[in-house]
Structure 1
Amino acid sequence: MGDTVIVTVSDGDEQQLVSLYEWLRQSPRVIADSKVTLESDPVPGTLGERADRINLSVASAFASVQIIIAAITLWQEVQENPAPVNVKVGTVIVQVDGAAPDDIKRITDALSGKGSASSEQER
């Protein structure tokens, strides 16, 4: 796999991040093109770790990002109070917050460098 798409939950809620991770791992379209891993960092002052990001290893981030964004928006639709989700490809970060289908294309364009902004927020 060649590229990495990094996904984080905006408010740092570990439970929502783990829920999203499990959702992405159960999505046949996501796992067909991606290796999905939950990454953790040590918590200062403790012996434990805290899950803080999902890495999706893909052959081509720009070919897979639309599927990933669509899966994230579906997850947000079924959550009671979903947090906005940040998606990073290379140096571009966009925030996904209940994007509609037309917004998914705009977000995908921004991540692929076709959009005019380096960061967009959707609701």
Structure 2
Amino acid sequence: MEYQPGVCNIGPTQQRRRLFLGVGSLALAAVFVAAVVSFAWPQWSLILTVFPLYGAAMGGLQYRERFCIGFAGMGVFDVGGGTSEIQNEAALAADRKKAVKLNLKAVALGAAGTVAVYVGAAVLL
């Protein structure tokens, strides 16, 4: 695997870390929803699921796209041979542009998931 500016900045090892982040965040969201239901907390508290759902979306998107927004922000990549600094300004700009797009997608997915959880709870409870 090789670094491709604005396309791919992480290899398989880093991808697995992002997948773990996504799955762990999704599990945290499920545990939180179960706690809200089990302990009869106010329904508005389900809005807080936006945070773990954003993390789940971020992890899943970074895994799927083979792209880390944090690495883009720091100006580095790691496709398997260790972390390397990006020297080319055009490559750095392409990575940062992709990072903004991925972050916006994750925010949208986290918000949509939160709305689904909130509406689902309103219907079922």
Using structure 2 for the length normalisation, give the TM-score: 0.30
Higher relative contact order (CA 8 A, sep 6+): 2
Q: Which one has the largest radius of gyration?
A: 2
Query: Larger % of strand: which?
Result: 1
